[in-house]
Amino acid sequence: MAAALTSQVALVRKCNRLLYSVRSRFHTSNGLSTKEHYKFVVLGGGTGGITMGARMKRKVGAEHVAIVEPSEMHYYQPMWTLVGAGAKTVSASARSTASVMPSGVKWVKSTVMKIDPKNNTVFTEYGKEISYDYLIVALGLQLQYEKIKGLPEGFEHPKIGSNYTVKTVEKTWKALQNFKEGNAVFSFPNTPVKCAGAPQKIMYLSDSFMRKTGKRSKANIIYNTSLPVLFGVKKYADSLWEIVKKRDLNVNLRHNLIEVRADKQEAVFENLDKPGETKVFEYEMLHVTPPMGPPPVLKGSSLEDEGGWLDVNKDTLQHKKYTNVFGIGDCTNLPTSKTAAAVAGQSSVLDRTITKVMKNEKPDKKYDGYTSCPLVTSYKTVILAEFDYSGQPLETFPVDQSKESRIMYHMKADIMPHLYWHGLLKGLWGGPGPYRKIMHLGMK
């Protein structure tokens, strides 16, 4: 009898241990929700989330910071432009999320399902409830391939790729290598995008690759963009138009990709100036830049603006309605180009804003909209576009950065990745502002 009781107790203990381990691994089980509280909760562990997690750790201590991020892997996305052109490998762009997570900070490996800013609480996939004193939203943006008829299933076919996801970036390189003759078509969607230069960088690299491999005379290179301009800042657009003419690249403005018939190698574009008018382009290679939109979880949270983006003050990055909520990066409605370089500039301002808000003082540092886009124009040249909210160049180096430069290519390919992993993600790189001043002898 006693022996039976002992074994029953042991069994119950074993079950409890199992339940505990399942709960702690999956945060909850059997619908029983767990609750946690942190001074800072960061939503998203991409560029902005890891950066701000590292900065908040320094401010309040690791045990008071949690980052909610479901992905096992973290990617340096700017490298994918070079991966699609065979100049870097996917693995060089990847690190495990565990390795970039600031040590001691709680990694909640889950997806945020609901944000309730009125009650300072977020809810994750497994029913976990996390409350906070301060919330930093760094959820990035959502890629919307499905808005183009025939995608994403069209990626199962060859000759089509997209540098915008880890799954499709190597398909770009494959399509480029296998190119024989015909049209090479590159698209730019009719929505805000991250890194507005990336859709055309891969065109310049493809042109260079075809020249190197003797295929260029058999290729008709076409850049179909929804925009009315080649690039948003005139100084750089002027240089790019010169390159486009010199290299015989065909640019069609106001052309929006609406359908891909991958089995027939056809891409259908709508003329945005003549709605309803479409044109079919046969292709031997197609690079798709997908439509993009705000993270769906913001919808109905009362944190979003009318377009669905996180509604923040453009100077301070503080939410317009909830003073203990802040935003950084692609998910925000900051009226600047969405880049990792912009995240760097935003991170130092946001750090300062939060310090002030925590002391009940008025934020005093203003984000000027700094953003940067290394426009890769070949395997050895880059035009380094840097500009602010007003679209005015804000260049770091005391040279004309609208000229193609070999040094800037090395910056892009070799130096910036180091700056990303060892500077930005550690919360130590807040953009080139201080260096710009030195380079220009305090004049900028």
Using CB under 6 A, list all residues that contact ligand FAD: 43-49, 68-71, 77-78, 80-81, 111-112, 138-140, 163-164, 194-195, 198, 295, 297, 329-331, 338-341, 343, 372-374
Shortest gap between Cβ of 329 and ligand FAD (angstroms)?
2
DSSP 8-class letter at 102: P
Residue whose pair of structure tokens reads 């693995």 in the numeric block: 91
Residue whose pair of structure tokens reads 């381990």 in the numeric block: 21
Beta strands 121-124 and 112-116 are antiparallel
Nearer to ligand FAD by C-beta: 46 or 102? 46
Nearer to ligand FAD by C-beta: 29 or 339? 339
Nearer to ligand FAD by C-beta: 128 or 194? 194
CB-facing half-sphere around the CA of 30: CA atoms within 13 A:
6
Residues in the chain: 444
Q: How far apart are CA 65 and CA 114, in angstroms?
A: 19
Q: Is the sign of the CA dihedral 164, 169, 174, 176 positive or negative?
A: positive
Q: How far apart are CA 2 and CA 21, in angstroms?
A: 29
Nearer to ligand FAD by C-beta: 265 or 337? 337
Contacts for 375 with CB less than 8 Å, ≥ 6 apart: 197, 200, 201, 204, 231, 236, 240, 382, 383, 384, 385
Annotation says 195 is catalytic = yes
3-state secondary structure of 116: strand
Q: Which residues pair with 270 in a beta bridge?
A: 256, 278
Nearer to ligand FAD by C-beta: 202 or 243? 202
The residue nearest ligand FAD at its CB is: 46
Instruction: Mark 181-206 as b/e (b = at least 16 C-beta within 10 Å).
Output: eebbbbbbbbbbbbbbbbbbbbbbbb
DSSP 8-class letter at 418: H
DSSP 8-class letter at 289: P
Phi, psi of 403 (to 5 degrees): -90, 145
Question: Distance between terminal CA atoms of the chain?
Answer: 86
Q: How far apart are CA 51 and CA 429, in angstroms?
A: 9
Nearer to ligand FAD by C-beta: 101 or 219? 101
Q: How far apart are CA 372 and CA 336, in angstroms?
A: 10
Nearer to ligand FAD by C-beta: 239 or 339? 339
Nearer to ligand FAD by C-beta: 78 or 117? 78
Peptide bond into 434 cis (omega under 30): no
Candidate list 233, 373, 383, 425, residue with the active-site label = 373
Candidate list 122, 176, 195, 243, residue with the active-site label = 195
Shortest gap between Cβ of 396 and ligand FAD (angstroms)?
13
Helices (H), 112-197: 169-178
Q: Report the catalytic residues.
A: 195, 373
